[in-house]
């Protein structure tokens, strides 16, 4: 069942990378970058991102969207554009849910890399979420 967050932000969109609203692409790009942080994107991490995507777009082409967004993020030098899009379009509750989904990607390979954890905390801070609330997500 889709959460209120997902229903509110992602209704009636085909799921192609070019058709996604910017905030959807931003969330997926952050998930991809977190997965890439330890040097490779593990199959479990891809599956977690895919599950998030397919909850939103059951009939979408995940492989196409994933590859396009992965290529696009590889040319970015900063997370700021993604953060700015999310901050402009999402409530605090939505941001906490986004961070929860990002944390699921981090946990999916059964290895919380120190760089992934650090990046998670940085992203949370940039999304204006307190360290206490981030700790709750991690527990």
Q: Does residue 118 sit within a domain?
A: yes
CA-to-CA distance for 108 and 2, rounded, in angstroms?
20
Cα torsion through 64, 29, 92, 105, rounded to 10: 90
Q: Does residue 5 sit within a domain?
A: no
CA-to-CA distance for 55 and 34, rounded, in angstroms?
20
Predicted confidence at residue 37, as pLDDT, reads 82
Q: Which domain holds residue 26?
A: 21-138
Predicted confidence at residue 76, as pLDDT, reads 74
Q: Does residue 15 sit within a domain?
A: no
Q: Does residue 103 sit within a domain?
A: yes
Tens-digit pLDDT profile for the chain (139 aa)? Answer: 344 444 444 444 455 666 677 888 899 999 999 888 877 888 999 999 999 999 888 888 999 999 999 988 877 778 899 999 999 999 999 999 999 999 999 999 888 888 889 999 999 999 999 999 999 999 9
**Short-list 79, 56, 61, 50, CA closest to 18:** 61
Q: Does residue 116 sit within a domain?
A: yes
Q: Does residue 8 sit within a domain?
A: no
In the three-class reduction of DSSP (H, G, I as helix; E, B as strand; rest coil), residue 80 is classed as helix
**Short-list 51, 56, 72, 52, CA closest to 15:** 56
Q: Does residue 77 sit within a domain?
A: yes
CATH of the domain at 126: 1.10.3680.10
Q: Is the dihedral of CA 62, 67, 70, 75 positive or negative?
A: negative
Helix axes 80-89, 114-126, angle to 10 degrees: 50
Q: Does residue 13 sit within a domain?
A: no
Specify the number of domains making up the chain: 1
């Amino acid at each position: 069942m889709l959460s209120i967050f997902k229903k509110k932000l992602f209704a009636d969109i085909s799921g192609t990378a070019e058709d996604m609203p910017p905030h959807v692409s931003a969330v997926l790009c952050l998930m991809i970058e977190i997965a890439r942080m330890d040097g490779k994107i593990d199959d479990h991490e891809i599956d977690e991102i895919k599950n998030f995507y397919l909850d939103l777009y059951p009939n979408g082409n995940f492989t196409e969207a994933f590859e396009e967004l992965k290529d696009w993020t590889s040319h970015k030098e900063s997370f700021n554009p993604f953060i700015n899009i999310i901050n402009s379009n999402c409530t605090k509750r939505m941001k906490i849910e986004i961070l929860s989904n990002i944390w699921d990607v981090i946990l999916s390979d059964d290895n919380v890399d120190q760089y992934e954890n650090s990046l998670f905390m940085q992203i949370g801070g940039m999304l204006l979420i307190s360290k206490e609330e981030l700790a709750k997500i991690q527990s």
